[in-house]
Structure formats: C-alpha cells, structure tokens
Amino acid sequence: MKKLLITLVLIPFIGIAQTFENLDYISPFSNGVAAIKKGNEWGFIDQEGKLIVDFRNDLVLTKIDNANYPIFKDDRCLIAHHKDGVLYYGYINKEGETVIAPQFLNANNFEYDKALVLKVEKETIGYNDIFKKDVVNYHYFEIVIDENGNTIDHLTQLAIHVSPKDKKDKNPPAITSKLISENLVAVKGNNKKWRIKKI
C-alpha cells in the first residue's frame, strides 16, 4: 500500500515540462525548437517544453514574417559578441555551446550545411618607430564555411579594406552573395551582375 501511495504521488511529476510565465514572445517551432523571450534575453525550448538553451543576450535575431527572433538552421544559431568596440559573429549548437567562436564581421544563418560569412584578416604593413607599434591594415573576404567553421571556398578574391573600429556606420558590411542550392552560390560582382559558382 505504501509503494502504491508513493507511486501515485510521483506520477503527476514525471514527464511534466517546465512552466514558463511572463514571456514577452514565443516564436513558432522551427528546426525542432522555439525561441522564447523574457525581458531582453532569449532562450530555446524543445517540443516537450524543456529549456534547451538558457536565456542569454547574445543571440542574433532573424526577420521572419514581420517578426524578429533567433532561429536554428542546420542546428546552428547565430550569436554576436563585442570585442574592442566591434561586433563579431559566431554560432552555437542546441546545447548552447559555442561551436564557431565569434570572429566574422557579418554572417548568415546556415543553409545546406553551409554559411556565408565575412572573414576579417589583419595584415601588418609596417612599424611606427615613434609610437613603437605595428602599422596594420584590416581587410575581409566573403567566404563559405562548413558547420565547424572551416573555409570551403573564397567568394571574393580581392580583399575589401576596412577599419572595423573606425567605421562610422556601425552596421556590419553586407554579404552580397547567396546560396542558391547545396552546391551553387550566386556571387554579385562590382558591376552589379551575378555569376554562379559551384562550391
């Protein structure tokens, strides 16, 4: 009888998901998860209502059907961190672990297990004897990366020069290419014409 009573008391608590109250936004489910907002932070729940990514303030929002919320695509979600006054983009997985450290000047959501990003490179072009420091130049390339952040292909062969810290426009430089299939990317040239590249 005692075992039966304990079993009956425990049954209602087994399998019950967390309860969330006072949420500011709940997104539709996509890629098996839904984004939920509380205050200025976002988290993710699975289809059982379990919080799989705790509330945090570094998730990047994507505009979908007149709403802005973070999303997972190909099990990756964009994050952004400030470093020396510059916003750098990276990705987390569904456990909330950083799988690609924030290092890109701009980045798109994954699609076809690939993402388009702007990779920054720092080039030392000399040395200033007066200030006793290197003279550096920053430039970036549009590249395609895989789900681990490895470069698959360079889309721009010529470096685009930029000084991330001194930019007056605080928006990230635009990514002009777009993935159009699993193996094809459309690259826009300086003449505003498109070319299709196999990757």
- DSSP E strands in 48-193: the ranges are 51-56, 62-64, 67-69, 77-83, 86-92, 98-107, 115-128, 133-145, 151-154, 160-161, 178-179, 184-188
d(CA 90, CA 96): 12
Helix, strand, coil % in the chain, rounded to nearest 5: 5, 50, 45
pTM, two decimals, is 0.81
d(CA 75, CA 91): 10
- For residue 56, what are the β-bridge partners? 42
d(CA 114, CA 150): 10
Which tokens go with 173?
């430089």
Query: pLDDT tens string for the chain (199 positions)?
Result: 444 444 444 444 444 456 778 899 999 999 999 999 999 999 999 999 999 999 999 999 999 999 999 999 999 999 999 988 889 999 999 999 999 999 999 999 999 999 999 998 877 778 887 878 877 677 788 999 999 999 999 887 655 656 555 555 567 888 999 999 999 999 988 888 999 999 9
